[in-house]
Amino acid sequence: MGAGRLVKKAKKGDKEALLQLIMAEKDAYYRLAFTYMKNEHDAMDAMEEMILTLYEKIDHLKKADAFYSWSKTILVNLCKSMLLKQKKVVLLESAPDGQNSYQAPYLISEQRMDIQQMLDHLNENQRETIQLKYLHDLDYKTIAEITDVSIGTAKSRIFEGLKKLRELFGGDSNE
């Protein structure tokens, strides 16, 4: 059954349909929560909160095809509010992509450190949008919704962040 039909069923109160939608993207939700929360326990707590919120608010969703961007926005907002409650100021870091992390954990952690060190040179807005774009493969529209800015601002933050990284660390120059 397609996601659109599942969303319509979920909006009518079908909890099983909503669960199927969530389970289809559970790895992406987890990676997104882990990026903000930095540990498995808090990431799982954020996902549980998201599921409860989705059950309560699914009837507010206007467009069925916007379910995943809507639900990821809810997850990010929950993560941010949980971090505020914990009075933590946590820098975003890349989440393991889960596929090859068991084969070479030392490589993954070295790559994460390198990426984190590079991203530490950016402001928080640039770092967040670049991670959502390149580590979570989200489109500009979804990034704009999650960060509560216009699409143009999201694109600008990514562009300026990448420009700064190129200036600091080299890379593609205009040859």
8-38: pLDDT as tens digits: 999 999 999 999 999 999 999 999 999 999 8
Residues 47 and 116 in one domain: no
Q: Residue 66 and residue 144: Cα distance in Å, rounded?
A: 13
* C-alpha 34 chain-centroid distance: 9
- Give the domain-ending residue among 55, 90, 125: 90
Cβ-proximal residues to 155 (8 Å cutoff; 6+ apart), any chain? 140
Amino acid at site 142: T
Which CATH number covers residue 106?
A: 1.10.10.10
pTM, two decimals, is: 0.69
For the stretch 126-148, pLDDT in tens is: 999 998 998 888 999 999 999 99
CATH number reported for the structural domain that contains residue 82 in this entry: 1.10.1740.10
The domain boundary residue, chosen from 44, 63, 90? 90
Are 129 and 158 contacting, i.e. CB atoms less than 8 angstroms apart?
Answer: yes
The position carrying tokens 């109160």 is: 13
Full domain range(s) for residue 58: 1-90
Structural domain ending residue among the three candidates 31, 56, 90: 90
More confident residue, 115 or 106: 115
User: Is 158 a domain residue?
Assistant: yes
Asked if 70 contacts 49 with a C-beta cutoff of 8 angstroms, the reply is no
